[in-house]
Structure formats: C-alpha cells, structure tokens
Chain A
Amino acid sequence: MSMYHIATETRTSDGYGFVFSNIPQTFSHLRIHAKLRVTNVGAGANTVMYFNGDGGTNYRVHYMGGDGSSIFTGDFGAGQPFAGIGWSGNTAATSGLFSTHIIDIVDYTSSNFKTSRSLNGFDANNSTTNLVGIWSSLWKNTSPITQIAFNGNSYATGSTISIYGISTPSETGV
C-alpha cells in the first residue's frame, strides 16, 4: 500500500473554509480528493488553495476547460494570492450536486517551487454550468508544504476534502 489517508474534513454546516495543518513530511507526494458545493455564488464559482498560510502574491494559476460547447484556456495573471483547483458546485446547479477535484502535489517536501495539478469536473444536471477542466498552479516558494487551506466561498453541508500521502520505494530499477 503506497497511498495513506492523512486527514478528512467534512462540513457539517454551511460555512467558509477547510484547513489541514501539520501535514506529515514523510511522504513523497500528496493526493487530494475534494467534493464541493458553494452556497453563495452561482455559475463560475472557484475554489482556491493556500499553502503554509501564504496569502501573498506568490502564486500563478492556469487552466484549460470545456463547457459542452467550447474549449478554452486561461491565465489568472501574475501575482495571484492563491492557487486554483477548479470550478465548484454552485447555486445555479441542481440541488445536492457537488463538484469533483482530484489534486496532485508531487514532491511537496522538495526545495523546488511547488506545482499543483487538479483534474476538475462538475455536472450541474441542467444547462447552466457543466464543466470539465485541468488546473495548474505554481507556488513560488521553496519551503516544504506543511499546511493547506481551501477557501473562496461558503461551502454547503456535506462538502468534503480528503488528503492522502503517497510513498515511494528505495529501489531505482536501474
């Protein structure tokens, strides 16, 4: 077994944010599974991610997505104060539906800048905001990631985020 559960947070009432502190430094990679729905924003709601409490202008966010009729790509621009993980379930969607985000943070304890990669999808079960995308973010910091926070909107009861650690072997296969 190489993928280990670290922590899960589930909202038991509507409200802002998820915070995971004291992330173990013993894994090689992190995998995050998120199921989200916001209660205060309609079509186009995004969820953002912060590392180690850094809300400074140290991030860059890019994406590519499709909405059922077109495909598009974008850049949030220089000096963003957060990383992006994609479009969240929102108030324009059929009640009770949540978005899915599968996020990989490879080599999260290294002294490189940290790149996150999020595969994101949301079917609203109506004609408003059906989206699929891949999101990419750069955190311009060489520190190991010890805390991850998610925010941007008020999240509905039942929204859940789980963090897993992925280990690597010592064998090289050379």
Chain B
Amino acid sequence: MPKGMQPIYTQRLTSTGTITFNNIPQTYTSLLLIGSARSAYASGFADAYVYFQDGAGTSNYSSTAQNGNSSTVSSYRYTNSGTANMFGMNGSAHTANAFTSFKVSFPNYRDGQFKQMIGESVMENDGSAIVCQNSGLWRSVAPIRQINMTVANAFVAGSVFTLYGITRA
C-alpha cells in the first residue's frame, strides 16, 4: 500500500441525486471527502448529512456546528439522529452556478471505537453566504464500509464528490 493520500472513488452527478460510496477499502488509516456541490432546495441554505452502513433509520449520530452568515455567528447541535450534519449546501435560490466547497475528514475509520468526523464548508453566494464548521459522532465500533450523503431536495447535476484514503507512514 503506497503511503500518503490515494484517490478511492469519485462521483459526478449528471442529474439530481444523492451519493453513496460502497465497498470502502479497509486498508487505509483515515478517509477524506472533498467536494463541490449544490442542492435543489428552494428555501435558502440547506444542511447536508452523512450516514454510514447502518442506514438513516437509527439514532446513532450526533453533530455540532458553528457558522457565520455574514452578519451573525451561531452554533447548534443535533442529538440521537439518523444522520450527522457535516456540511452545508447552496440551494436553488442562490447565485446560479455557485457551488458549495467542502471537505469532511473521517480519521481512524477502522478503529474499534466510536467514530469522530469533522467537516468544513463554504456556501458561496453573490449575497449573504455561510461559512461553516461541523463535528460529528457515529456511535458504532464497526469500521466504516459505506458512506452516504444526502441533502433536502437532493444534489444537482454537476456536483462532484471524491473520497480519498490516507495511510500513515
């Protein structure tokens, strides 16, 4: 296994949809997700969510966020959820062609401990925008084998998601 950061999977949507990465290799130390995306949500900025192979019907996730919307800063938290809020997302009401830039890290994704993750996103817009940082917890000791990402009204065509594996020296 080469050291450093290796690309695993990439998906670019050609129509509106959500994202699932299956069969994640169990050979790396950590995972990193990098993306550029936008949602079809019409009522402002949307939260984007991550969940793993246990599905979205559980209460195994919690997450905490802080963000600035150009005028105020705020922080909020979700507990006992079926998903973790790990980044934000532009919607259809925002500047055309403006996509959110984000990354989410999944350190030590194979450890036999509950999994922590951390996200960073900027929802650019030629108007009010949001910059956001998130942390999340998956209360499972299982290794991460599948990653799902979803948002209200789904991601639009042109959204791209890439998953990398990182191996320690």
Contacts and interface: CB of A to CB of B under 8 A. Distances in A.
Interface of A: 1-3, 28-29, 60, 62-64, 71-75, 78, 104-107, 110-113, 115-117, 119, 134-138, 140, 142, 166-174
Contacts of B36: 106-107, 110, 112, 115
A172 B11 contact: yes
Interface of B: 2, 4-11, 20-24, 34-36, 66-73, 95, 97-103, 120-131, 133, 158, 160, 162-164
15 contacts: A29-B34, A29-B162, A60-B124, A64-B66, A72-B73, A75-B128, A78-B127, A104-B103, A110-B36, A110-B158, A112-B98, A112-B158, A136-B131, A173-B163, A174-B22
Given A140-B126, A169-B9, A104 B101 contact: yes
Nearest to A64: B68
B99 A172 contact: no
Contact of A172 (B9, B68, B124): B9
Contacts of A73: 68-73, 131
B35 A106 contact: yes
B99 A115 contact: yes
A174 B20 contact: yes
Given A1-B4, A73-B69, A138-B124, 8 more contacts: A28-B162, A29-B34, A75-B128, A106-B101, A112-B98, A138-B129, A173-B8, A173-B9
Contacts of B97: 111-113, 140, 142
A1 B82 CA distance: 34
Say whether chain B's binding surface is mostly helix, strand, loop, or mixed. strand
Contacts of A117: 101-103, 120-122
A5 to B, nearest CB: 12
B10 A169 contact: yes
Contacts of B129: 60, 62, 75, 136, 138
Contacts of A106: 34-36, 101-102, 160
Contacts of B127: 60, 78
Contacts of A104: 34, 101, 103
Contact of A113 (B7, B67, B98, B123): B98
A80 to B, nearest CB: 10
A137 B125 CA distance: 9
- Specify which of A72, A117, A119, A142 lies most central, judged by the most chain B CB atoms within 10 Å of its CB: A117
A146 B121 CA distance: 24
Contacts of B7: 2, 167-169
A123 B34 CA distance: 28
Contacts of A62: 68, 70, 122, 124, 129-131
Contacts of B102: 106, 117
